[in-house]
Chains A and B, each alone.
Chain A
Amino acid sequence: MSEDWFKPAFIENDIKQCLSAKTEKEIKSKARKKNSETNEESLIRKSKSLEQTSNAVDKKRRSGNDIENEDQNKNKQKVPKKRKKEIVAQSQPTIEISEVKWLDIFTPKTINELLVHPKKIEEIKHWFQLNRKHPDDHHILLLSGPAGCGKQTCTKMIASEEGFNICEFESRLDISDDLVKNDYNVPYENQKEKFENFLLTSTRFQSLFTTKSRLLIVKDFPNVFLIKEGNEEFWSSLRKFKKYSNAPVVFIITESKTKTLDLEYFLFPENIRKELGISKISMNPITTTMLKKAMKQICTTLSNNEHFKIPTQETIDNIALQSLGDIQAAIYNLQLACQQGPQSLKSKKSDKKQNVPVKKAKKEIGRDEQIDIFHGLGKVMYPKLEMDSMTERMKLTNNPENVAELFYDRFKTFTELLYSNFLKNFTEIKGAAAVSDTLSMSNIFQTEYRQAENLHKISLCMAIRSAMVHNSEGAPSGFRPVKGFASKKFKNMGMNNLEEYKKQRIGLNGGHRVTKKDFFADYKMFSSIIKPEEEESDENEKIKSKL
């Protein structure tokens, strides 16, 4: 496959990363120079180890992998290409750990080392076995799960154990610079055709060297399928595949909370799954305990390595919590924490209190928190206060701006929900009036469409902050269910009235127009008195009697 093409770009990225890491170190080392001479020595040692690392990895890769890469490896430094998500303690700790991405090093080697729940592994294995027996019924597998839960690694590992050769689809479009430089006729490939080719032809001919059958893995979907109506084309490709090929294929999909990015919803809806007999296995995020265990193991491996400060148990716990079951994120953070975290923090904190730096670290590491809109609403409506150790004053535990940040994309819904619910949590009219005032202001900001983006953010921040700050008495105790939009109740009534207007307006004013305003403010009520015979429907009467 064309995967060889894209390697140069990859390598370059990695080299750049290494280089930037190096320059970072240099800057730091300059700062540290004044303190001690020994640091300088360590810098030299480190830069040496950088070279060693890439060479060592290169060697490892060459010996471990196929022959196909041999030629390219000669003139280019090679770093393992595939992103691995699982880690275990490596049996032989070497110096090379210092600069490479840890994700590549601490990849699990056997199924037992996987962090995925054994039952899920069983489930995937079972599918492979079924596929062997009835290839027609168990032809396509859809594997979904949140980012970094080990979908890919798990599949690959099980597949190789079950005796499959893995064939992975690449849909990257970035072509490295030197390729373009050397050859101006870089062939353009239709991504859709490429995908179909991959599905249909890559398993057509049996390999000469092995007797193993092939397993197709698709993780990156060509962009053409992701645009409007692209899913139809995707389905037609799938149908063709189902018809002509019998090689097993695994589609790996990362779950997403936003509907527009939800590939499973878009590409694999229920009816298509049924039609093509696609089995579905969804994986859960990795448990915090497992994450902690894995990180501990890494730490023990590193304990005799002088380059790293082993982070405290507390930091590890924080990382595990913050990464929300994402092993990738956890490992990145652990590497960060080991390389610079504790050191730099120690030098800074000096006379400040003990718990401040830890908290800071907790905030900085970790990926974006994703919380439910109702959870966010709870944070806003029941604000918690804590004592600020710096200023000796009470402050909000959750910074309103941070909460607002999570809901920028849903600012309208959030404001509306907040509006519908805030009154119940107030006991004093003064605070409620202040919040009301802010909501009215934020409505004006939301009406503005020109410099919309910033204003919308500000409007949400304002609303949230005001709701959190003005409730000085605190919410009354007791359970209050969250209400939906307050306007919803009256929507139907509004529609009915509008229909009525459309029906009646023609007869009024001798054929001339009666505006909506005039109709509702004047005509409607009186004409019902004057011409009662036209007001028959009970519903209208009901509404009227209510009013």
Chain B
Amino acid sequence: MSLWVDKYRPRELSKLDYHKEQAADLKRLCEQQDFPHLMFFGPSGSGKKTRIQCMLRELYGTSAERLRNETMTFTTPSNKKVDIMTVSSNYHIELNPSDAGIYDRVIITDIIKQIAQTANIDSGSERDFKVIVLTEIDDLTKDAQHALRRTMEKYVATCRIILCVNSTSRVIPAIKSRCLGIRVSAPSIEEIVAILHKICRKENLTLPNELALNIAKTSDRNLRRAILMLEAAKVQKYPFTSNQQVPDVDWKIFLHETANVIMREQTPANLEKIRDRLYELLSHGIPSDIIFRELVKILTTKCDSEVKSQIYGYASLYEHRMLSGNKPIYHLEAFVAQFMSIYKKYLNDITMDFDDD
């Protein structure tokens, strides 16, 4: 049994539920002979991967859906063997170079080049190029990105590259300028609600509108999360009631607790507790940028508007540092420490004012 997220994922461009105009554009793009490199960008859970898969089907027909998993091995210059998982069909290959960590450049230069160099053998297909789908390009090192830029130029005759990124801000301009950028914005609440209803109809379930709205709101306009939530809610309690508890992601609840601990006491000893909690989150694989964003969001709702601007200032500073550094915990903690310091000063000032009165 596959998850609903996967089960009800649209397979064709014409069956997409939202951004229909864009879907039509993509379809026209596939019909043309002149197919450029593409870069899909947008927040997570907005349907970038779905659109890429639909395009592949549009380009190559159903045979692009016959997938096989392969593990490719490559050797780094320091003679270390690294494995990387790939998913491929006859016409395309999907891989995530940032899985190789600091060796991502080697993947780009070796593996991708190797794939790109060989032309498609199958003459039956009308396309004379292969497609390489690369995900999480924004997590690549600068070196790897530059290597990629070169590959894109050189092997344009045999292959097209489709990139999938969350934020273009970390992609070097040289790559951006070589791709046709396609923004996939997150679906609106109404669109999510409509999709949830559609799924429930297919599953023969009745979904109260309030619950659908509730799920859509808690999901942060992340469609994947919304559908997963719906399915989890169904497992927890069915038939649905309109005021049913929506299961939220566990790390978010954990972050809320963390924020409460921060607000309770502003001492170095407490900061150490926070450090442990942050470490726990990170070691559970929650991406550091998501942690950072959520934490700032939660903390700013809890404090007075007087200090908010300061906090946003520091948040942007440390977020920037976190992206350029290699140990997210240092920067997360620095932000928390700074927040504590500001908040404590603010509290002290208030009590001083009371004393004056």
Which residues of A approach B to under 8 Å, CB–CB? 419, 423-424, 426-430, 432-433, 436-437, 439-441, 443-444, 446-447, 486-487, 489-491, 493-494, 497-498, 501, 506-513, 515-527, 529-532, 543-544, 546-547
Contacts and interface: CB of A to CB of B under 8 A. Distances in A.
Given A424-B272, A513-B87, A447 B341 contact: no
Given A426-B268, A429-B344, A530 B251 contact: no
A86 B269 CA distance: 54
B12 to A, nearest CB: 14
Q: What size tier do the contact residues of chain B reach?
A: 35 or more
24 contacts: A423-B272, A426-B268, A429-B266, A437-B337, A443-B321, A443-B331, A447-B326, A489-B276, A489-B279, A491-B283, A497-B283, A501-B285, A506-B69, A509-B6, A511-B67, A512-B49, A512-B67, A515-B96, A517-B136, A520-B285, A522-B224, A522-B225, A526-B249, A546-B280
Interface in B284-317: 284-287, 290
Those 5 A-B pairs whose CB atoms lie nearest each other, nearest first: A520-B285, A526-B228, A494-B283, A433-B337, A490-B283
| B contact patch SS | helix
B280 A490 contact: yes
A430 B341 contact: yes
B268 A527 contact: no
Given A432-B268, A436-B333, A522 B325 contact: no
Given A513-B49, A517-B44, 16 more contacts: A419-B330, A429-B266, A429-B267, A486-B276, A490-B283, A494-B285, A507-B2, A511-B67, A516-B285, A521-B286, A523-B228, A525-B251, A527-B3, A543-B284, A547-B250, A547-B280
B271 A432 contact: yes
Contacts of A513: 49, 85, 87, 94-96, 135
Contacts of B321: 440-441, 443-444
A136 B337 CA distance: 67
A501 B99 CA distance: 12
| A contact patch SS | helix
Contacts of B67: 510-512
Contact of B324 (A430, A444, A519): A444
B318 interface: yes
Interface of B: 1-3, 5-6, 9, 44-45, 49, 53, 67, 69, 85, 87, 94-96, 99, 135-136, 222, 224-225, 228-229, 231-232, 235-236, 247, 249-251, 254, 266-269, 271-272, 275-276, 279-280, 282-287, 290, 318, 321-322, 324-327, 329-331, 333-334, 337-338, 340-341, 344-345
A430 B268 CA distance: 9
A117 to B, nearest CB: 47
B284 A520 contact: yes
A498 B285 contact: yes
Contact of A436 (B251, B284, B285, B338): B338
A414 to B, nearest CB: 14
A434 to B, nearest CB: 8
Nearest to B69: A506
B330 A443 contact: yes
A86 B324 CA distance: 55
B325 A508 contact: no
A526 B325 contact: no
B269 A423 contact: yes
